Structure 1
């Protein structure tokens, strides 16, 4: 992104790193002569989600897990990706030689998942929850309905830690702790809330035998020592409590963004946003995006996401002052185009 732009395109939180996270990462800089050991980090992640350590596979970012799945499950006969969706799962499948089918969710339904749209004989299914770029949070029951014997169900929960619901103590609609669903793989990322995109740390949760199979395609020492320290720290009770507070603050800021956007003529907010971004439809969005850039704002184009198109933009949630200034600029741009 060009310097000087207000970044509403990237979904990574950019607040100062807390000391409980920065300290352990910095401490590893004196230990880099030793090869990484993922034992402690794996145990910490497992404890957070109430799982056995054998049901956790640490990865160099959640994106690496997409590649491992695509490369390892080459015997999948009918892979299906539910769209609109993060584009990397489909790219990883195609790069591994899979023929991918798409299930397109409908704007008229608020981009909410309909399990009946997924072919019954699909044996490898990818779905995001909450979904990037629509920010829709699917009911856990609907996602769980996709699980069945003979199918690997991959649920990308990279943004699950950004979700919040009043009266719910944990992450609403998450399947991360579910051990009763056959073939369920839940992918998680530490990139978003804690601003660790450059460190590359994520993990997969699922049946031990399936994770062992994925691990065979993983390079030796795939996760670096500083990233392992981050995984351990972010699985701690202190981190989880902080994460919930941040998610609650984000929910208020998101509600403010949605309210302001809803007041802009000819702008439609997709579904019911539940994450750190919202998707909007407006005529000529591709040109509006370029004009916003000239005026200092970077937003994410929507035409690269199957099921959306050139009339869509994705806008990251920021503080209310930034939102107000952005919406005022967007309103001016749209008025000038009339």
Structure 2
């Protein structure tokens, strides 16, 4: 059975992976943040630098918006550029008249935090480890008029079938699918971005993860024109900077999309290597259905293991801040093979030290 909760409990919804690598964490190898290493690439840095010559003018998002629309085969009226996906969650919480919002957990906590900040009472559907954290559309209550879930889901890395998600759509309901990590999945087989046949669908995409632009803040919303218009009215003027717009347009080019696909294929290989290494530890259980650029593991005394890993040079993401998880969970970003091998050695030492 999938659990249901309306309780605003002790989970720290504002804790994110960057907290693991701030404040005295110099020299740590970062497995806590899911931004791809070695980014932004040189060509994207150059594009952003070139845009600085136009900073005296107000930002003009028309070209970037058209590029995003073309990339997904959509009319521009279905595209809204945002200062990262985090802004989109705030806009959705404030601009849409939801009365019975539901968030499917474990997942990125910012959507629930934004809804609660806007005064909404949020119900939770809690997917279970015993079921592989897989989505059961029947678990979402019929009366929900706003449903939020991620695909692939952070932190479980589970990729839900697109058709299972589409079954959640119905008249009078807004269905929000966070696809921030979808471009890290080779071929994007379960993507809903570009679909116009799913009523009430809102797809969110981020350019910060694959392209290393977390500090620039750029993402976008794909939705029905009336929804885009409502969200746009809630935005401040010029919400996306000129450098971020230049980056968005550049990342929609065929060459950039091909580069992202190659990176996704490399991540899949490196993730398989990480999972194989983790399988060697009797104390560790990984969510084996992982399809994103990160892996969720269960290990007793995970807090102590995480602390020990820090002394050995590695930062991991604690899992207990995600509703549906507890202190026995850690999230690990997928890195290159050499880094993974060093991490596995450190994990072996940490497990022996914790006992």
Q: State the TM bucket, normalised to the shorter chain.
A: over 0.9
Matches within 5 A, 1:141-220: 141-164=163-186, 170-220=187-237
**Any gaps of 5 or more consecutive residues in structure 2?**
1-20
The normalised TM-score by structure 2 is: 0.92
The 8 Å contact of residues 135 and 275 in structure 1, kept in 2 or not, is answered as: yes
Deviation of the 1:16 alpha carbon: 4.3
Structure 2 partner of 1:67: 90
Find out whether 1:80 has 2:135 as its counterpart. no
Find out whether 1:51 has 2:74 as its counterpart. yes
Deviations 1:179-220 (A, max 9, x none): 010000000000001100000000000101111001111000
The 8 Å contact of residues 34 and 333 in structure 2, kept in 1 or not, is answered as: yes
Find out whether 1:260 has 2:277 as its counterpart. yes
Among residues 98, 117, 120, which one is paired with 1:98 in the alignment?
120
Find out whether 1:233 has 2:255 as its counterpart. no
Structure 2 partner of 1:167: none
Deviation of the 1:23 alpha carbon: 2.5
Structure 2 partner of 1:296: 313
Q: Aligned equivalents of 2:40 and 2:320: distance in 1? A: 33
The 8 Å contact of residues 309 and 350 in structure 2, kept in 1 or not, is answered as: yes
Q: Aligned equivalents of 1:193 and 1:24: distance in 2? A: 16
Structure 2 partner of 1:121: 143
The 8 Å contact of residues 84 and 218 in structure 2, kept in 1 or not, is answered as: yes
**Any gaps of 5 or more consecutive residues in structure 1?**
165-169
Deviations 1:8-58 (A, max 9, x none): 101111214334322221111111000000000000000000000000000
| 1:194 aligned counterpart, secondary structure | coil
Structure 1 partner of 2:338: 321
Instruction: Return closer, same or farther for 1:16/1:181 CA change in 2, 3 Å cut-off.
Output: closer
Report the number of matched residues: 332
Structure 2 partner of 1:23: 46
Deviation of the 1:142 alpha carbon: 0.7
The 8 Å contact of residues 277 and 317 in structure 1, kept in 2 or not, is answered as: yes
The 8 Å contact of residues 107 and 271 in structure 1, kept in 2 or not, is answered as: no
The normalised TM-score by structure 1 is: 0.97
Q: Aligned equivalents of 2:314 and 2:46: distance in 1? A: 33
Q: Aligned equivalents of 2:305 and 2:46: distance in 1? A: 43
Range that drifts further, 189-198 or 15-24? 15-24
Structure 2 partner of 1:10: 33
